[in-house]
């Protein structure tokens, strides 16, 4: 299947209806996590979900838009460049899902870790170039420690990312794995990449 | 000639192990109001989806038989073209708000934008439609700020404005309170008065008796009855439907021997007055 | 929480086409990243961002938000980079084992003021442009229509979902769910909070999609628009000039070393 055919197949109406809902899930779940003062972000559940159900590009767009909207509504304009990280997280989720990782919890964890590592690698240069290496939160102590012990800015930012991102993304992947388990087959089968999740899909005859 | 024709239609959803529709055959005449009734899971929504082209264009599965809209085979006609022939309104008013529009006027115009209707034409149609659906006083409000009944009238208006000759309404009042239900039912009467062909799925048989000229009964995917409302609704119990309060009262009277047993039960207030006065 | 930062005020800046405002913000952002002069940010903030903010009658909000958003970052920058900037040697203040160095402070100053300009320029757009107008403008400029649909719908669904989240939170707390206390307790509270929210939202997706298709959302023909954005020839020209300016700034800074005889600049 060619790339543009694949895109047309992924961007069905149900994909388009899901994306804004997933964007809102990202933001609201992120806020709930903040309310509960949990030591994680978990702000990409919707992104990973769309990647799994609809493909890499829909997932990536969900991530990027969530991030930009977040910057818009909170006034945290300087977080907008991290839309690139969110975009890549969506791509990763779509890619790993197409390899069937969500059919198996061990693979789900592995994919979460891998996505976390990739997210850290993408974030680090943005963090350094835009933010001067700091986030304005407690994790800056890690950056200070590694810079004090000889790391340069990009190294310190990457290490800081390696410490927080893989855990966060693994938890997010596990939550998505749980959500997918709880969804009815009937609902899952409406999405373009349902075969990412469902093990045996019943044979369908042509409809025309 | 009938405006909608269903021939030997069977459908099995992907992920389902039995048919949701079994060899359904029926026709609909232009300008009529037909109600579809049946127990939960009987296949009412599935039939609606087939009439509006969502089967096969939205839902995947195994389809046999044909649906013709104005003579055109729905399987051969793209959905965006079908929607100007057959409009469909769904249960949940909230889900039918596109979300992409900030005011009620804009929301009503959404379908016209998608069809590429020129601005001037859009303006006249929007003004006329808001008037008809009694939404002109909320035209500048957010669709999200409306009451459930208003939102459902907005959903009806948003489909009506695309001027499909046929409108399929799948339990449009299921999520509404009695007040909202009354509003929407009155609107449906207006639509019928405007000559639209209406297919209405409805659990509240009181409303079926008041609005419909014909009733279809679905049972486990099969069309088991088709005819005049009073005769059909008098046998409502046989298909596990909740009969009207008038029929229930009449049945109670018959069972207590107050009135001799009759086949035809009252289904509306008028019929009940008649039934009890003459017989009792 | 604020659903959107848009402040509907009558001003010349508000009345500009969203893309014009976006082009101004872009030009400011590009300049601040490309010009290698320590005080470029301060200059841009004082001589461009503030005057526009005053013109738009939003200077109080722009200042307040800029500083509350940037302050924690600025503090971190001074603490982390002021003391631990790699390769810095010029000590200006010694406390215990730690030393504050000039190069680090300079880096912290440049970065913090640059963030201040990014935030300020962004807020000029955010406070003066309804997100729906911005989305519509993007479509006008050739972005796919579905992008506008996604953005506007997400913005409108957000308060609905937040209300639902509050409802669920209250209901679960009434049933004895604890949302404060030890980390274990709070993690245990997380799943019962998000599950009904997420499933509730997912349940609706199919009907939302059907309702969109029922209104010819995916029709192949070109769409028309009910609302029109005000635009003018002058603004169109201004936008083109701002874009050209931004590109030039990037090119010039890329060739900064060859500035005097860069063929790209001379042509
Ligand atoms: N997307 C789907 N995938 C698989 N099976 C489905 C799907 N939608 C409906 N079904 C099944 O098809 C049958 C008919 O369902 P349908 O929704 O048409 O019934 P209904 O008469 O509208 O019921 P209700 O009164 O509950 O709305 C049911 O057995 C239902 O479980
Ligand atoms: Mg139904």
Higher pLDDT, A206 or C256: C256
What number of other Cβ atoms are within 10 A of residue C259's Cβ?
Answer: 10
pLDDT tens-digit profile of B111-150? 999 999 999 999 999 999 999 999 999 999 999 999 999 9
pLDDT band at residue C266, thresholds of 50, 70 and 90?
very low
Q: Quick one: average pLDDT of B200-216?
A: 95
Q: What is the pLDDT of residue A205?
A: 37
Q: Quick one: average pLDDT of B91-109?
A: 95
Q: Quick one: average pLDDT of A80-98?
A: 97
CB contact under 8 A, B100 and C220: no
Give the percent of chain B with pLDDT over 90: 88
Above 60 in pLDDT, residue C16? yes
Q: What is the pLDDT of residue B33?
A: 96
Give the percent of chain C with pLDDT over 70: 94
Give the percent of chain A with pLDDT over 70: 95
Would an 8 Å CB–CB cutoff place C208 in contact with chain B? Answer: yes
pLDDT band at residue C97, thresholds of 50, 70 and 90?
confident
Above 90 in pLDDT, residue C230? no
Q: Nearest C-alpha of chain A: how many angstroms from C46?
A: 19
Residue-range domains of chain B with CATH: 1-85+165-238 (3.40.50.300), 95-163 (no CATH), 243-280 (no CATH)
Q: Is the Cβ atom of B16 under 6 angstroms away from ligand 1?
A: yes
Segment 213-232 of chain C within 8 Å of chain B by CB: 213-227
Ligand nearest to the backbone CA of B15:
1
Lowest-confidence region among B229-238, C219-228, C236-245: C219-228
pLDDT tens-digit profile of B16-54? 889 999 999 999 999 999 999 999 999 999 999 999 999
CB contact under 8 A, A205 and B62: yes
Q: What is the pLDDT of residue A65?
A: 97
CB contact under 8 A, B109 and C160: no
Q: What is the pLDDT of residue B278?
A: 64
Residue nearest to atom 25 of ligand 1 (CA): B40
pLDDT tens-digit profile of C120-177? 999 999 999 988 899 989 988 889 989 999 999 999 999 999 999 999 888 888 888 8
CB contact under 8 A, B115 and C219: yes
Which of B15, B59, B75 lies nearest to residue A185, judging by beta carbons?
B15
Residue-range domains of chain A with CATH: 3-200 (1.10.1760.20)
pLDDT band at residue A17, thresholds of 50, 70 and 90?
very high
- pTM of the entire predicted model: 0.93
Report the range out of A195-199, B22-26, B176-180 with the highest average pLDDT. Answer: B22-26
Q: Quick one: average pLDDT of B82-97?
A: 95
Which pair of tokens denotes residue A186? 């009937």
Would an 8 Å CB–CB cutoff place A34 in contact with chain C? Answer: no
pLDDT band at residue A93, thresholds of 50, 70 and 90?
very high
Q: Quick one: average pLDDT of C57-73?
A: 94
pLDDT band at residue C95, thresholds of 50, 70 and 90?
confident
CA torsion through residues A51, A57, A60, A65, sign? negative
């Amino acid at each position: 299947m060619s790339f543009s055919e694949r895109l047309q197949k992924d961007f069905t109406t149900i994909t388009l209806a899901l994306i804004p809902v997933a964007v809102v899930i990202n933001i609201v779940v992120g806020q709930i996590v903040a309310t509960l003062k949990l030591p994680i972000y978990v702000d990409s559940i919707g992104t990973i979900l769309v990647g799994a159900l609809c493909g890499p590009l829909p997932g990536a767009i969900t991530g990027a838009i969530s991030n930009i909207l977040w910057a818009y509504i909170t006034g945290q304009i300087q977080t907008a460049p991290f839309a690139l990280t969110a975009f890549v997280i969506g791509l990763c989720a779509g890619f790993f899902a197409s390899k069937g990782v969500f059919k198996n919890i061990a693979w789900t964890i592995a994919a979460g870790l891998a996505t976390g590592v990739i997210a850290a690698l993408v974030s680090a240069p943005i963090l350094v170039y835009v933010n001067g290496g700091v986030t304005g939160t407690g994790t800056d102590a890690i950056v200070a420690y590694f810079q004090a012990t000889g790391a340069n800015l990009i190294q310190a930012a990457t290490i800081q990312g390696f410490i927080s991102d893989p855990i966060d993304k693994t938890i997010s992947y596990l939550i998505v794995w749980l959500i997918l388990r709880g969804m009815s087959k009937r609902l899952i089968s409406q999405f373009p990449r349902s075969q990412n999740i469902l093990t045996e899909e019943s044979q369908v005859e042509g409809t025309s | 000639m009938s405006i909608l024709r269903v021939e030997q239609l069977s459908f099995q959803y992907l992920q389902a192990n039995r048919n949701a529709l079994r060899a359904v055959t029926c026709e609909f005449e232009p300008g009529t109001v037909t109600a579809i009734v049946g127990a939960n899971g009987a296949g009412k929504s599935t039939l609606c989806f087939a009439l509006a082209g969502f089967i096969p264009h939205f839902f995947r599965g195994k389809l046999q038989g044909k649906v013709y809209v104005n003579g055109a085979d729905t399987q051969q006609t793209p959905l965006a073209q079908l929607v100007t022939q057959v409009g469909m309104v769904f249960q949940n008013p909230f889900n039918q708000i596109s979300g992409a529009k900030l005011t009620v006027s804009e929301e009503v115009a959404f379908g016209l934008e998608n069809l590429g209707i020129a601005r001037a034409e859009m303006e006249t149609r929007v003004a006329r439609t808001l008037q008809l659906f009694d939404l002109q006083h909320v035209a500048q409000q957010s669709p999200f700020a409306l009451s459930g009944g208003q939102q459902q009238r907005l959903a009806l208006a948003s489909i009506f404005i695309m001027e499909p000759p046929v409108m399929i309404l799948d339990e449009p009042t299921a999520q509404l309170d009695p007040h909202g239900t009354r509003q929407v039912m009155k609107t449906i009467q207006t639509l019928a008065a405007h000559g639209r062909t209406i297919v209405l799925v409805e659990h509240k048989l009181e409303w079926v008796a008041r609005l419909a000229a014909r009733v279809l009964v679905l049972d486990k995917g099969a069309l088991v009855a088709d005819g005049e409302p009073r005769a059909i609704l008098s046998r409502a119990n046989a298909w596990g439907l909740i009969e009207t309060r008038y029929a229930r009262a009449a049945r109670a009277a018959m069972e207590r021997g107050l009135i001799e047993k009759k086949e035809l039960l009252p289904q509306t207030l008028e019929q009940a007055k008649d039934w009890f006065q003459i017989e009792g | 929480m604020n659903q959107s930062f848009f402040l509907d005020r009558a001003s010349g800046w508000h009345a500009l086409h969203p893309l014009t405002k976006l082009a101004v913000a872009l030009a400011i952002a590009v300049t601040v990243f490309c010009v290698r002069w320590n005080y470029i940010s301060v200059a841009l903030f004082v001589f461009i961002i503030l005057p526009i903010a005053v013109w738009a009658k939003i200077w109080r909000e722009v200042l307040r938000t800029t500083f509350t958003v940037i302050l924690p970052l600025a503090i971190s920058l001074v603490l982390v980079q002021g003391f631990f900037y790699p390769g810095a040697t010029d000590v200006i203040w010694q406390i215990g084992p730690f030393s504050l160095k000039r190069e680090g402070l300079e880096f912290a100053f440049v970065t913090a003021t640059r963030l201040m300009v990014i935030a300020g320029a962004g807020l000029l757009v955010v406070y003066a442009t309804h997100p729906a107008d911005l989305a519509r403008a993007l479509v006008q400029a050739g972005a796919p229509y579905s992008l506008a649909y996604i953005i506007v719908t997400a913005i409108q669904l957000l308060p609905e979902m937040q209300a639902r989240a509050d409802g669920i939170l209250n209901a679960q707390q009434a049933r004895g769910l604890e949302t404060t206390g030890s980390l274990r307790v709070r993690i245990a509270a997380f799943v019962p909070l998000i599950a009904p929210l997420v499933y509730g939202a997912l349940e609706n997706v199919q009907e939302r999609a059907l309702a969109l298709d029922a209104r010819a959302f995916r029709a192949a023909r070109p769409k028309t628009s009910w609302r029109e954005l005000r635009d003018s020839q002058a603004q169109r020209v201004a936008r083109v000039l701002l874009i050209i300016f931004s590109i030039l700034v990037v090119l010039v800074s890329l060739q900064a070393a060859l500035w005097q005889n860069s063929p790209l600049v001379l042509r």
